Structure 1
């Protein structure tokens, strides 16, 4: 935790931990109370045999905020954390003032084959062999060298190297395997918020993406703009799957501007009941026909 002011809950992505937010925490803490946990199975948090679904993570964040005596937050989620943020807002609208989604999961099936591979039965055994000393260090050095070439396909490999390093812990390997199997299979993402996006009419939403994202395609930003027409969408050039790390100053400005220009959502049970009862004004299938199909090797 850092800072004072309205609360921001920062949720990291798959295989990462709270340090992914280090480039922006100090600046955000000038205006907000920043809470950046390690999700269960990640970083210094426990790695039990447990519920690693997005719903389970949302429940855990509710409990954390309750322990910290924080009633409402603007929830900021990156990648997997974006899916958790959407689920948190869906499960606990009375505790959510805004959603800020950074290259989030949950907007379509497309995802990098590297993540789909984690769902395969042999992942833990293969990764045990690939993370022995020597092999791991050579692999990490190669990824970091490729990330410095400036090629679009290798943009995020320095971050991937850090995730790879975390897999040396058997507990982390098992936890990540459980996480991925809860949200991804060999065909791609299986958890979606598309059918619930109409609920964002009651909640301000910002989506931030990088043009060079090779983990989840930037075309999903177009999908967000169609299924949640009230959302603000920002696509950053020369940024990959971690736009908050590629352009931290611009990211903080976008967040500040969004929070300053929007009113926090006010939960009203009657309005929420009406939204749930009526559903989306346009069927989801018709909305998705307006969205360009994601292309390239990620699909």
Structure 2
């Protein structure tokens, strides 16, 4: 006699992230936390907030403690007149983890959050187990022209105009029409997320914080902060890069360049995805994060090894990948303006 056997599936319970607050240096910081186990820190991009991670946070919380903060100036966090540089954001992540008694963490950063994650690893290597960079900013100067325009002085005036009656609905209508016209192109995939972020900006303190954050990393010529000259410092850190092949904000070529400049890193390209691959295919994203964590040992911070790397610096021999990509990295390091952080 035969019986039908059902696959041995792991029971899944819905874990809804809880919104919590901590006051640090006098400012209220919001974050969403869910699950238990090894900690993961999810850092969102510019103008966005922690809810962008909700789907993947819920899934990852089956195995991990997942913390998704609202960066200062974003979401439910305070929006003071403050320092919104990537270095300041990295400090903020250090302080939040300290308050939560978390000593080491796997850091996942998207867009601006990827630049913050890289800066966090640079400033506080002893706190980092692994790095996962998703469509990360700060590789080289190329960036969507809309962000270059928004960084100009009149860009703030344009954001202020969103507070006028019917302006935001009109922009959203044009965006929806554009999304339908561009369909499954990178622009078409990214427009709905851009409209979602835009809806939060009419509030004066939010638009001011957005402008300050943007101008800390972008001007009319493009991104003004680059990580390429320090990528070699991740030599002992497991790094997973994730990019959408149709990213209309930060080109997929940046993922290939970062991969070439980061010894031992892994690169996964989501074909057809735009700037938010974790929205386009959250199940694949979660599986990739879990596999990466399961297959890598946490970084071991060695201060003497770091000293030696700093003394040696980056050389052409440290780069990997196709000749064209290596040449692009070297050219960017020679010509791009670099962060002096």
Partner of 2:284: 250
- Aligned CA distance change for structure 1 residues 77 and 289 (closer, same or farther; 3 Å): same
Matches within 5 A, 1:1-299: 1-149=33-181, 150-152=183-185, 153-282=187-316, 288-289=326-327
Unaligned segments of structure 2, at least 5 residues: 1-32, 333-341
Alpha-carbon separation, structure 2, partners of 1:124 and 1:255? 37
Cα pair distance change 1:229/1:266, threshold 3 Å: closer
TM-score, normalised to structure 2, is 0.82
Q: Is the 8 A contact 1:146 1:154 kept in 2?
A: yes
Does the aligned pair in 2 maintain the 1:209–1:243 contact within 8 Å? yes
Q: Offset at 1:224?
A: 1.3
CA distance in 1, matches of 2:74, 2:134: 19
C-alpha displacement of 1:283: 7.5
Aligned-residue offset at 1:256: 0.6
Q: Distance in 2 between matches of 1:128 and 1:242?
A: 26
Distance in 2 separating the partners of 1:118 and 1:96: 33
Given that residues 195 and 284 in structure 1 are in contact (C-alpha distance below 8 angstroms), is that contact kept between their aligned partners in structure 2? no
Find the aligned partners of 1:160 and 1:126 in 2 and give their Cα distance: 15
- The size of the alignment, in residue pairs, is 294
Equivalent-residue separation in structure 1 for 2:315 and 2:304 (angstroms)? 18
When structure 1 is superposed on structure 2, of 270-279 and 187-196 the one drifting more is 270-279
Mean Cα deviation higher: 67-76 or 158-167:
158-167
Q: Which moved more, 1:116-125 or 1:274-283?
A: 274-283
CA contact (8 A) 2:243 2:269 kept: yes
Determine if contact 1:219/1:293 at 8 Å carries over to the other structure: no
* CA shift for structure 1 position 291: 5.3
Q: In the TM superposition, what whole-angstrom CA distance separates every residue of 1:254-278 from its partner, at most 9, and x where no partner exists?
A: 1011111100001121111111122
Q: What is the TM-score with the length of structure 1 in the denominator?
A: 0.94
What corresponds to 2:14 in structure 1?
Answer: none
Partner Cα separation in structure 2 for residue 134 and residue 293 of structure 1: 46
Residue by residue over 1:17-75, the C-alpha shift from the partner in whole angstroms, topping out at 9 and shown as x without a partner, is 00110121111001110000000111111111101000000000000000000000000
**Unaligned residue ranges in structure 1 (runs of 5+):** 295-299
2:141·2:223 contact (CA, 8 Å) conserved in 1? yes
| Aligned-pair CA distance for 1:221 | 1.3
The structure whose Rg is larger is: 2
| Contact 2:106/2:130 (<8 A) preserved | yes
Task: Tell me if the contact between 2:261 and 2:329 (Cα under 8 Å) persists in the aligned partners.
Answer: no
